[in-house]
Structure 1
Amino acid sequence: MDPNNLVEMLSQTVERYPEKDALMWKQDGSYTSMTFQEFWDRIRNLAAGLNRLGVKPDDKVAILASSNEMWAISDFAIGSLGAVSVPVYPTIPSNQVSYVLDNGDCTIAIVEDDEQLQKVKDGEAEVQHSIVMKPGSDFTATDNLSSFTSLEEDGANHPLKDWEEQWGAIDGDQLMTIIHTSGTTGSPKGVMLSHDNFLSQMKAIQFWVIELRPDDVHLSYLPLSHVFERMAGHFMPLMAGTTIAYAESIDTIQDNLQEVKPTIMTSVPRLFEKVYARVVDQIENGSPMKRKIFNWAIDVGKERYDYYLSTPVHELVLNPMPKKLQSQVIRADRLVYQKIKDRLGGRMRGMVVGGGSLNPDIAKFFWSLNVPILEGYGLTETSPVVTTNPMTRAKVGTTGKPIPGCRVRIASDGEVLVKGPNVMQGYYKNQEATDKDIVDGWFYTGDIGSLDEDGYLKIVDRKKRVLVLSTGKNVAPAPIESAINESRYIEFAAVIGDGRKYVSALVTPDMENLLPWAKEQGIQTESRAELCERDDVQKLLKDEVAHLTASYADYETPSKVVVIGDEWTVDSGELTPKLSLRMKNIEEKYSDLIAETYDEASTSAKEVAAEAR
């Protein structure tokens, strides 16, 4: 029977798999776990504890923490009371935390530790009670401060007698969460998403992308405060009975892959770009024979992918591969593929990527290794998935087809419009913005895209990010940035040039790979700033940009490359929590440098481009 709300959805999974592991997390140096029944019992206890604090239907409760088992418990406990969770990125500073808490009308905040608690205290939001997941040694409970454990214990001692009836009566159109947008183009807006918004997604996706199974293990490293991980790495696995293992952090992802050995994973493009760059670097520095074997194996993999894409599905069932190709794939897997797949834990059967544009060459590389990467597209306002590539017919270079029940059309100016049960209820306390973005039921995404002859969607860029040069040419920076990010020596690239005669690129170095290169060149310093000022380092990065953008039109190719010595992070404001560029912040921070770059009259754009090439 289809569930009426997300809590009922989880209760059905608990009934099917009570003793199966639901969540895994690192504790005291090793992974520990809890079963679905234990997970459910802790949700029940926390819900009772929150009820004793006065939480009632429609109240707003913030969750300010990195992804962990208590985040998941909090999410369902809040929802089971008919209340509304307001996730907050743990990486944002206190002034932004204060904005989200205030805009979301949060009366209670569940925070990870003392550091996050201080952000709540520093703000002006009227939070009446804070709950700390991991209190410090000097923690003291007060009338408006509790520990997570004590609140669970209080709930266990004073259970809600009508809890099942309470969550069972929640309708699908009940507000489940308010997720604030990243605010790349202005103040964040609170996106209102209901139980039905998410349930419609799960019903459409489960047999459309990768069919999640109870024996799957999902490694979760993206923040649960982001809608992509919340739906694809939280609700979806829990519906299917899949075990969720939380990575410690993005910095430990390689170790956690080996410890957990996941079968499924969601990610943003940056992880795949880094893995790809590392593999290519090792191959290029290997022996000629290794390079020859590697290139042969990749060619075999591409042939397998092309066969898979061009052969009708019913024929694939009867004849998955020609015998000659099959024998080549088996040999290539033994010699090359498995060694690379072992870096992902050795059991990966599929990865879903969202939150940005993935370079088609990188996607096809992983497909060649028989590690399917399924790209999709969506926004917070669409819960989030709009389109995704199905496992049975994925097309690299696209974000796939609209999911069942969701309609997509392209406006006359190229903007992608979306209609369906996944579209948000609106922006919280912002009817003006709601009316502007939703017209006659169609959500105006702000993205420029096109549908190919088979109905697959290709996203060009954000509508507001398309650069209009003074020559009249239009340039979409995202694909160019994605190409530049293939370089193992470049961490991030930002392409600029709106209103200018030509485009330029601001690039930051990837110190993990730049330092070994500098050492090989006999460069003694390890200072980031000093390295970025060196002529030989600047030449290296300019040559990388020129090489990786050589296939673009002249007007799309960065004529000037500016090496930025600063590290771009979420905390310093250049990146969103999902590692997208905050172009407004970047252009403001480097406005003088950008003006100086374009004011240099001594060297023409063509001379710089020729020099870089």
Structure 2
Amino acid sequence: MREFSLPALYEVPSDGNLTDLIRRNAVQHPDVAVLGRKVAGAWTDVTATQFLAEVRAVAKGLIASGIRPGERVALMSRTRYEWVLLDFAIWSAGAVTVPVFETSSAEQVQWILGDSGTAAVIVESDAHAAAVKSVSDGLPELRRVWQLDRTGQGDEGGEGGRTGCVAELTAAGAEITEAEVDERSATAKADDPATIVYTSGTTGRPKGCVLTHRAFFAECGNVVERLKPLFRTGECSVLLFLPAAHVFGRLVEVASVMAPIKLGCAPDIRNLTEELATFRPTLILGVPRVFEKVYNSARAKAAADGKGKIFDRAARTAIDYSRALSSGRGPSVGLRIKHQVFDALVYRKLRAVLGGRGEYAISGGAPLGERLGHFFRGIGFTVLEGYGLTETCAATAFNPWDRQKIGTVGQPLPGSVVRIADDGEVLLHGEHLFTGYWNNEPATAEALADGWFHSGDIGTLDEDGYLAITGRKKEILVTAGGKNVAPAVIEDRIRAHALIAECMVVGDGRPFVGALLTIDEEFLARWVKEHGKPPGSTAVTLHDDPDLLAAVQQAVDDGNAAVSKAESVRKFRVLQAQFTQEAGHITPSLKLKRGVVAKDFADEIESIYRG
């Protein structure tokens, strides 16, 4: 058994709650832009003073509408300014926020609202309202439903939510006094629930993780202090394009307000390049798939412009340069010169795509991959990989900005402890942990034992306390030959190929390891053109195309290079369908629901092992 800890850098308040942050900002930084919001398609600043006033106005409306202290108010919306506004308004009314992913099915909505005993729900769209209405008969505690956009006009079309329930709640609270808001805002104490975040549910029904105000203070306070250069008030900014309903999104929200730095919200990741160019953040938070897309899109564009070989040489140079930085000797003179040349030709353009101002990103939710980590650091845009779960209030480990160790998820959150059990499981301890699963004592008792959270992940700690995650305890495959296989290692390598959208390794109880693969449709269109295939060809029409299968085999071969022969993929099947959230194959944070995939594609898995 091995463990490692770092002393806390932030003193968690003995009491109080997260609404203290916005009142403090209005006093200490009244004219500092703490948020950016889209109005008529353009970013406008919201100062600390303005944000506090808007939050309190909406909180008055919630109080006037009968929301009581401790009651649960659900929030179902895309990532947008109003999400942050309503989150703090709910807390200011003394209530508890229950986030619901805007892609959730009616069945999932019913489970979350019913299990949490939600008294009111704020939805974004007509579709969300319809989903709630379709299951409302089974929700006896639900009293109110408010809607952000009544005309279908989103945040980018004008005043957005101000035409809906934000204006309605503001008007409803006109008679509520400032003293009443002050009293209600002080209701919740540090150890009271701030939110109940339902796990993505890779297996079984989602469980509601109860996260207190204290957990957010411990989490965000220590993140901000350890990454201080990335959170400079008045200088730094962050664009949130992850789902705000996800705990990683909430970390970004609260940490930005705590610092404070300017926070912008992007509701549609399909417009990410445009949003980055206009908002120009200094810090980006994302999941590995976002960074894979940036790399693959840049490589494809270079190839289309006849500069593919130059890009590949530049990528190799960036990786070599980053690895040399980690070697202790540093880059050679020749490598430095090559790096300077490619910085002028390639790297500056890539940094411009990422907004042009940033030097750092934080990646979580899934393994980033060593090669990708070195590539981005090599182009002058360091991606700091971290690790956490809903139960840990997001990051429980992350790479420090000044001592990054690529290939690991970093050191423990200051003030917390990481322990590796005898069976390799990662155990966690600290004030940032959840207090339990809502209405689920058996699951709580199983996950929390003697103050330690059993993560279910398998990992190792090196001599400097850097954690490496090697797989999920419950996802370890055991082949018929008795070989233990951690799927994540090879899946990440295969998925790094531009043609591959998703990869799921199979082989539990089977004679060898196989894989199910899906094709990235966006990149496929470019591949089709480059390889002279009929215009409009798809993964379905090219299912048996030898050139496509050869390219996929190359991706598999690259993945196999990362593991032993016994762990390597012997056979694969390219699926004619995609893994989607709607079908339940992946979570909103892009994690595979292996059980669902295995069930839906059972025939394809069986075909791997026939003959």
Which of 67, 70, 74 aligns to 1:55? It is: 67
Deviation of the 1:236 alpha carbon? 0.5
SS at match of 1:395: coil
* 1:607 corresponds to: none
User: Following the alignment from structure 2 to structure 1, what is the Cα–Cα distance between the partners of residues 344 and 517?
Assistant: 38
Of 18-27 and 413-422, deviating more is 18-27
Which of 427, 430, 436 aligns to 1:417? It is: 427
* 2:388 corresponds to: 378
Does 2:281 align with 1:262? yes
Does 2:151 align with 1:136? yes
The question of whether the paired residues in 1 share the 8 Å contact of 2:493 and 2:558 is answered with: no
User: Following the alignment from structure 1 to structure 2, what is the Cα–Cα distance between the partners of residues 572 and 289?
Assistant: 39
Question: TM-score if structure 1 supplies the norm length?
Answer: 0.90
Deviation of the 1:70 alpha carbon? 1.3
User: Following the alignment from structure 1 to structure 2, what is the Cα–Cα distance between the partners of residues 423 and 289?
Assistant: 48
Of all paired residues, the percent bearing the same amino acid is 33
The CA deviation string for residues 183-225 of structure 1, in whole angstroms up to 9 with x for no partner, is 1111110000000001011221112135301221211100110
Which of 98, 104, 112 aligns to 1:92? It is: 104
User: Following the alignment from structure 1 to structure 2, what is the Cα–Cα distance between the partners of residues 495 and 235?
Assistant: 36
In structure 2, do the counterparts of structure 1 residues 538 and 101 end up closer, same or farther at CA, with 3 Å as the change threshold? same
* 2:133 corresponds to: 121
* 2:95 corresponds to: 83
In structure 2, do the counterparts of structure 1 residues 535 and 329 end up closer, same or farther at CA, with 3 Å as the change threshold? closer
Mapping for residues 508-523 of structure 1, pairs under 5 Å: 508-519=518-529, 520-523=531-534
* 1:452 corresponds to: 462
User: Following the alignment from structure 1 to structure 2, what is the Cα–Cα distance between the partners of residues 137 and 512?
Assistant: 28
* 1:608 corresponds to: none
Letter in 2 for 1:112: E
SS at match of 2:129: helix
In structure 2, do the counterparts of structure 1 residues 59 and 275 end up closer, same or farther at CA, with 3 Å as the change threshold? same
In structure 2, do the counterparts of structure 1 residues 528 and 336 end up closer, same or farther at CA, with 3 Å as the change threshold? closer
User: Following the alignment from structure 1 to structure 2, what is the Cα–Cα distance between the partners of residues 291 and 505?
Assistant: 30
Gaps of 5+ in 1: 139-145, 312-319, 602-613
Deviation of the 1:326 alpha carbon? 7.0
Deviation of the 1:284 alpha carbon? 5.8
May I ask how many residue pairs the two structures share in their alignment? 582
* 1:149 corresponds to: 167
The question of whether the paired residues in 2 share the 8 Å contact of 1:210 and 1:350 is answered with: no
Does 2:191 align with 1:179? no
The question of whether the paired residues in 1 share the 8 Å contact of 2:37 and 2:46 is answered with: no
User: Following the alignment from structure 1 to structure 2, what is the Cα–Cα distance between the partners of residues 79 and 252?
Assistant: 31
The CA deviation string for residues 146-190 of structure 1, in whole angstroms up to 9 with x for no partner, is 833111122234334232243235321011000000111111100
What is the CA RMSD across the aligned residues, in angstroms? 2.3
Deviation of the 1:327 alpha carbon? 7.0
Gaps of 5+ in 2: 1-10, 154-163
The question of whether the paired residues in 1 share the 8 Å contact of 2:516 and 2:573 is answered with: yes
The question of whether the paired residues in 2 share the 8 Å contact of 1:297 and 1:336 is answered with: no
SS at match of 1:206: helix
Which of 550, 557, 561 aligns to 2:561? It is: 550
Mapping for residues 386-401 of structure 1, pairs under 5 Å: 386-401=396-411
Letter in 2 for 1:153: A
Which of 164, 179, 204 aligns to 1:161? It is: 179
Does 2:344 align with 1:290? no
Does 2:537 align with 1:537? no
Letter in 2 for 1:378: G
* 2:156 corresponds to: none
The question of whether the paired residues in 2 share the 8 Å contact of 1:300 and 1:332 is answered with: no
Letter in 2 for 1:537: L
* 1:559 corresponds to: 570
The question of whether the paired residues in 2 share the 8 Å contact of 1:94 and 1:122 is answered with: yes
Of 168-177 and 373-382, deviating more is 168-177
In structure 2, do the counterparts of structure 1 residues 296 and 397 end up closer, same or farther at CA, with 3 Å as the change threshold? closer
SS at match of 2:517: strand
Deviation of the 1:6 alpha carbon? 0.8
Which of 496, 510, 514 aligns to 1:486? It is: 496
SS at match of 1:90: coil
In structure 2, do the counterparts of structure 1 residues 299 and 82 end up closer, same or farther at CA, with 3 Å as the change threshold? closer
Question: TM-score if structure 2 supplies the norm length?
Answer: 0.90
The question of whether the paired residues in 2 share the 8 Å contact of 1:262 and 1:345 is answered with: yes
Does 2:360 align with 1:350? yes
* 2:212 corresponds to: 194
SS at match of 2:543: helix
User: Following the alignment from structure 2 to structure 1, what is the Cα–Cα distance between the partners of residues 488 and 322?
Assistant: 25
The question of whether the paired residues in 2 share the 8 Å contact of 1:26 and 1:248 is answered with: no
